[in-house]
A and B are shown apart, each in its own frame.
Chain A
Amino acid sequence: MAILEVQGIEKSFGTCKVLQNIDFSLEKGEVIAIIGSSGSGKTTLLRCLNFLERPDQGRIIVNNEVIFDAADPSTQRESEVRKKRLHFGLVFQSFNLFPQYTVLKNVTLAAELLAKEHPNFKQKKKDILKDIQERGKSLLYQVGLSDKLDYYPHMISGGQQQRVAIARALALEPDILCFDEPTSALDPELTGEVLKVIRNLADRNTTMIIVTHEMDFARDVADRVLFMDDGVIVEQGSPQEVFENPKEERTKQFLMRYKKD
């Protein structure tokens, strides 16, 4: 059973069609890599899933629940959108850590704020906050940053910042973790440590959608690859199919360009 189904998503900015008829589904534990040149709509697609953009058409279904339907305004209420977002985690290209908080606080802040809305938060305040702290520490251990808990974002490298951002996204236990070109803002020598963390997550059967320009990594870590061009999914299939035996001319051209580089 698919954990995520995306049906007929369309999105325009003004007269520019950014996404057209996007259909795909994702199984629990599956990793999808989305590749394609800049401006092909990959990032917009992720932003639609995270409710940062509102699609003009189409439906998004998570765990058999329609969480977005462009034709049904009752699925778009601001108050519910906030909770629905939590199905997804998003790791940004530019990290977007909160500069005034320590590494640990970056990871725990959102969970603490959500816990406060819980009806019996006041009685169990200490235990709940302690659990969140412990969980934050164990996530930072998982991404290899146990020794940086009290550092501020500007004191650590870009690769470390991105690993904090991954831990932060994991803290709310999303069903699906999305990555928007997680290594594009990093020096080449720092991409490896971030990719390693993502690979570890894949090994633990984390459900993920990864927008990336790292072709070797996509081939290596993804169960399925989607190639997008001009706002449409041109081709999808296993990494072997897409990378070694592309059927579409556009996919061939795109992959040729990468081989040359």
Chain B
Amino acid sequence: MNEISLIISRLSDSFLLNCKIFVITLLFSLPLGLVITFGSMSRFYPLRWLVRTFVWIIRGTPLMLQLIVIYFGPGLLNLSFSWPGGSSGRFIAANVAFIINYACYFSEIYRGGIESVPAGQYEAGLVLGMTKKQIFFKITLLQVIKRILPPVGNEVITLVKDTALARIIANKEIIMMAGEYSNKGLIWPLFATGIYFLIFVGVLTIIIDWFEKRLSYFRV
């Protein structure tokens, strides 16, 4: 009995790491994605080409590989930059990899959302004497948000589960913790990790639904 509660408390502690990566990644990748969107829609073609190539590389390679490259790359390439030692270095590197990866996915979702607003909306604003800025903030922005909410929600939910990949560079998140028990022949902690993810995603689903309902008063 004592052992069970000990295992649960250790699983819970390690799940906190998953939560931290989740929050930090969202906080930075959501805005960074918008910057990448502007780059990939730039009328300055060299920049557009560069940004789209970058997005292709990030979306075209496994996140697991990106974690490894970002963590071990600086050392292997003898760069003057290196990650801090110990668990904090591994944690920061994991976050950086997640932020870059998710920002690229978000940027494509944003681009699709912006391009899906009919040109007529923009033109209607123009003939009514609005500035480009007014058209963006007063007319297109909310329509874009409404359109991208479902795909962004999808990515956010995927991110929850992707945080488990941080164990590849030895971040002791919940699956890694459970793995230590299964290696010793105790399998139920590994199964139990699923419950953590399910509850987390359940809460997120409720939040995403709430946002979608808030914007259901109009149609695009």
Interface residues of A (CB under 8 A from B): 50-52, 82-83, 85-86, 88-90, 92, 94, 96-101, 109-110, 113-114, 152-154, 168-169, 172
Q: How far is the CB of A155 from chain B (nearest CB, A)?
A: 9
A83 to chain B: closest residue by CB: B129
> Given the known A-B contacts A92-B120, A154-B219, are A99 and B143 also in contact in the complex, defined by CB atoms under 8 Å?
yes
How would you classify the secondary structure of chain B's contact residues: helix, strand, loop or mixed?
helix
Query: In whole angstroms, what is the CA distance A113 to B218 when docked?
Result: 22
Residues in B neighbouring A172, C-beta threshold 8 A: 128-129
Q: Is A168's CB under 8 angstroms from B128's CB?
A: yes
Picked from B126, B134, B219, the residue with its CB within 8 Å of the CB of A85 is B126
> Given the known A-B contacts A109-B138, A152-B218, A154-B218, are A96 and B129 also in contact in the complex, defined by CB atoms under 8 Å?
no
Q: Is B143's CB under 8 angstroms from A100's CB?
A: yes
B76 sits at the interface (CB 8 A)? no
The CB with the most chain A CB atoms within 10 A, among B129, B134, B142, is that of B129
B199 sits at the interface (CB 8 A)? no
Q: Is A52's CB under 8 angstroms from B142's CB?
A: no
Q: Is A92's CB under 8 angstroms from B129's CB?
A: no
Query: In whole angstroms, what is the CA distance A99 to B120 when docked?
Result: 12
Number of A-B contacts (CB under 8 A): 64
Q: Is B130's CB under 8 angstroms from A110's CB?
A: yes
A98 to chain B: closest residue by CB: B139
Residues in A neighbouring B131, C-beta threshold 8 A: 82
B127 sits at the interface (CB 8 A)? yes
Q: Is B130's CB under 8 angstroms from A92's CB?
A: no
**What class of interface size applies to chain B in its complex with A?**
20 to 34
Picked from B127, B129, B220, the residue with its CB within 8 Å of the CB of A99 is B220
Q: Is B127's CB under 8 angstroms from A85's CB?
A: yes
Query: In whole angstroms, what is the CA distance A51 to B131 when docked?
Result: 14
Query: In whole angstroms, what is the CA distance A153 to B128 when docked?
Result: 18
B60 sits at the interface (CB 8 A)? no
Q: How far is the CB of A141 from chain B (nearest CB, A)?
A: 20
Q: Is B218's CB under 8 angstroms from A99's CB?
A: yes
B124 to chain A: closest residue by CB: A96
Query: In whole angstroms, what is the CA distance A94 to B139 when docked?
Result: 17
Q: How far is the CB of A228 from chain B (nearest CB, A)?
A: 21
- Can you spell out 24 A-B residue pairs with CB atoms less than 8 angstroms apart? A50-B126, A50-B127, A51-B126, A52-B123, A52-B126, A82-B131, A85-B129, A86-B129, A88-B127, A92-B124, A94-B118, A96-B123, A97-B124, A99-B143, A99-B218, A109-B128, A113-B129, A113-B138, A114-B129, A152-B217, A152-B218, A168-B128, A169-B128, A172-B128
Residues in A neighbouring B217, C-beta threshold 8 A: 100, 152
| CB-based closest 3 A-B pairs | A110-B128, A96-B124, A96-B120
B42 sits at the interface (CB 8 A)? no
Inter-chain pairs besides A94-B118, A96-B124, 7 sampled, C-beta below 8 Å: A89-B127, A90-B127, A96-B123, A100-B146, A110-B129, A110-B130, A152-B219
The CB with the most chain A CB atoms within 10 A, among B118, B130, B146, B220, is that of B130
